[in-house]
Amino acid sequence: MTTESGRVTDLPMPRRLAEVAGLFLNLGLTAFGGPAAHVAMMHDEVVKRRKWVDDQQFLDLLGATNLIPGPNSTEMVIHLPFLRAGWPGLVIGGLCFVLPAMLIVTALAWVYVRLGHSPAATWLLYGIKPPVIAIIAKALWDLGRKAAKGPLPIAVGLAVFALYFAGLNEIALLFAGGIVVMIGANLRRLEKSALKGIVLPLGALSAPALLAAPFGLGVLFLTCLKIGAVLYGSGYVLLAFMRADFVTRLGWLTDQQLVDAIAIGQVTPGPLLTAATFVGYVLGGLPGALLATIGMILPSFVFVAITNPLIPKMRTSTWLSGLLDGVNVSSLGLMGAVTLQLGRASLVDPLTIALALAALVLVARFRINATWLVLGGALAGLLRALVG
């Protein structure tokens, strides 16, 4: 086996592309359980079984995905085929991972649009939503423990949480938090004169007061493109950005519909960002589903292509590392605020509260797969319909 710039060259290109397509299509059909499960499955396949990269290369790639916007597991799916089969591998691997989930979610969205207001569907969604809230809360707790690297990041995360409810712009909060932690982490390296020149333009933090806007495919695509370009942290942070744009600013969705979108993304394989596929279909049919998905994933392809050659240098930069820590903890603050809002919309009676608490115990104590929790909630909702 020989390598060139870390890329395995032991097989002809057509064979490598076939390998990439087969592996990531299989993962796209079977990768349930969220980003952590996706990364674990990829590690098993490409490090242990196929030996495309070693453990250190895999960790370097995983670290690099934290330094750029976009969902981590999807970006790993783009990085690894790029190392194996170059630019064609980058495109084929990413598409093979996303396409199965996109098609499944589109089919479920078709059913939702036609049957979503039927009694059976209403009770089904009634039972699904509480476990989804519990799953998000558990992810928030796990990620928060890793992101809490000192008093300053914790304070920034709490400040972002509070300022979100004051109506400040979520993207400005995200990057302001990153800048604050970056400066704090490098404070000793700065001259006092340099610090005097740093002024945070607080006026930029105010959210634009937009009224409900008429739906348009172009606006849908550009909104998803913007979200994909600034989405840091777990795929669950997608909630904050989608709610800010589609619920609050544009008025195209309700909180209930947003939770339904996340629930559908949770029970299907592949990346959680296919919740955008669901939203796109609900709003604009098949064209909307396609444009929303492309807008959401396109930035990941671009960022991976740009940063892959720079990976060895990125995490060693104290400035980039501090910025990353601040952006991550800010994204968790946003995620926590939106989870609270969606919880109010989903936990509406003693049964839904009990379902959420039971799911939280099961996922935290026994590590039950999220898919089973959501299916269990659906069953509970249907039983509630039959009993009551």
The torsion region of residue 233 among left (phi > 0), alpha (psi -120 to 50) and beta comes to left
Q: Judge whether 323 and 228 are in contact, CB under 8 Å.
A: no
DSSP 272: G
Q: What pLDDT is stored for residue 235 in this prediction?
A: 63
Q: Are 292 and 299 in contact (CB under 8 A)?
A: no
Question: Is the model's pLDDT at 191 over the cut of 60?
Answer: no
Least confident of 58-67, 200-209, 306-315, 339-348: 200-209
**The pLDDT value given to residue 8:** 45
Predicted pLDDT at 92 = 92
Measured in whole angstroms, the distance separating CA 363 from the mean position of its chain's CA atoms is 19
Average per-residue pLDDT in the chain?
A: 81
Q: Where are the domains of the chain?
A: 116-387
**List of long-range contacts for 335-338, beta carbons under 8 Å, 24+ apart:** 335/136, 335/140, 335/143, 335/233, 335/234, 335/236, 335/237, 335/239, 335/240, 336/140, 336/144, 336/157, 336/161, 337/160, 337/161, 337/164, 337/165, 337/240, 338/164, 338/239, 338/240, 338/243
Q: In this structure, which amino acid lies at residue 247?
A: V
Summarised one tens digit per residue, pLDDT across range 12-57 is 888 889 999 998 988 888 776 566 667 777 887 888 888 888 877 7
